[in-house]
Amino acid sequence: MENISGKIPVTILTGFLGAGKTTLLNNIIKKYSNKRFAVIENEFGEIGIDGGLIVGNIENMYELSNGCICCNLSDGLQETLNNLLTSRYKFDNLLIETTGIADPAGVIDNFLAYEEFHNKFVIDSVICLADAMTYVESSNQQSEVHRQLAVADIIVLNKIEDVTPERGELVKKLIRSVNPTAKMYAVSHADISNCDIIETFAYTSQNIEKLVVDFKNATPLNFELSEMSDNNLMFATNPKNKHNNIFQHSIVSEGFTIYGNLDAQKFVNWLQAVLQYNSQSVYRVKGILSIADSNRRQILQSVRQFFIVEEGQEWKKDEQRFTKLVFIGKKLDREAIEKYLKSMLV
């Protein structure tokens, strides 16, 4: 089923090595058996789709027994998308599994920046799979883990059965400190039978608007893990560096509310400059804009250097108009951002 815009929903599945992405992918295909998926996998040849589902290999695409198709991302995403669109297969949902060390923003860019794909597809959500057992270690060692979490709309915390309740709660808090806006599910064996995964349309203006309105700043967590009483929370440390067992990250979520109307051109010029020159530190922006000479809310969202703005609901006649933005990124300068926003008020 296509969404109301007539575009095909795209679900992007990311997560670090060993988190269980392929198990999750197989579970999604089996759970939503009424859907005709097209699946793009980076690692098809090694740990791909459940072999029991494969019935044939045609035109470099794997046909699955439930009517879905799967193809290998070997020729680049754009070429693969074109191959899917011109193939004889009909599909109503697209699933893309990224590599374990990939920044999913590169995949998202294709659907925001290229008109031919933006006209055919709509991003449904970005799902990040996190490993409850190894999250703390991998997030301290690999910056990609934070990027994957920061752009996610849904976070599936896997292998929760393999950690103590105390450890599980700790990991949830750490994840929330990176991305407080995403919906989170704690599961075992990547079992998403009780989770809403497909066609959540987290990227729609309605969802973004509600999320931004409800947003409250998250407090970054910095604490000594060795202070935890549960031995399962202890990690090997280098005795020469006492800071090795402190979990800390520079990812922050900052919310800004500015009352009044913005000058549209000044804001666009400023945002383009911010995203262009800070693409490695500003991971995602979501927001509601009050633009002068417009009687509707403008809903903004960006991933890396690309952004889109869609019309939201009308402002009420007696409502105090405001702009509310949520930035997720690395070492954000709150004071500078707030200063620039206020300078663009009409």
Torsion sign (Cα): 205, 120, 5, 26: negative
Q: Tell whether the model's pLDDT for residue 33 goes beyond 60.
A: yes
Identify the three-state secondary structure at position 211. helix
Q: Tell whether the model's pLDDT for residue 23 goes beyond 50.
A: yes
Share of the chain above pLDDT 70, in %: 77
Q: What is the pLDDT of residue 338?
A: 93
Q: Tell whether the model's pLDDT for residue 161 goes beyond 60.
A: yes
Cα(207)–Cα(202) distance, integer angstroms = 6
Q: Do the beta carbons of residue 221 and residue 199 sit within 8 Å?
A: no
Q: What is the pLDDT of residue 211?
A: 83
The predicted-structure confidence for 182-210, as pLDDT tens digits, reads as follows 999 999 999 999 999 998 988 888 888 88
Mean pLDDT, rounded, for 75-81: 80
Q: What is the pLDDT of residue 73?
A: 58
Single pTM value for the model? 0.78
Mean pLDDT, rounded, for 75-95: 84
Contacts of 233 (CB under 8 A, 6+ apart): 166, 167, 170, 225
Cα(167)–Cα(156) distance, integer angstroms = 16
Please, what is the average pLDDT of the chain?
79
Which of 160-164, 324-328, 331-335 is the least confident region?
A: 331-335
List of E strands, 161-209: 183-186
Cα(342)–Cα(346) distance, integer angstroms = 9
Mean pLDDT, rounded, for 171-176: 89
Q: What size, in residues, is the chain? A: 346
Share of the chain above pLDDT 90, in %: 34
Model confidence band, residue 21 (pLDDT cutoffs 50, 70, 90): confident
The predicted-structure confidence for 265-322, as pLDDT tens digits, reads as follows 999 999 999 998 887 788 889 999 999 999 999 999 888 788 889 898 999 988 999 9
Identify the three-state secondary structure at position 287. strand
Q: DSSP letter at 262?
A: B
Q: Tell whether the model's pLDDT for residue 9 goes beyond 90.
A: yes
Q: Tell whether the model's pLDDT for residue 4 goes beyond 80.
A: no
Which residues is 302 bridged to in the sheet?
A: 285, 307
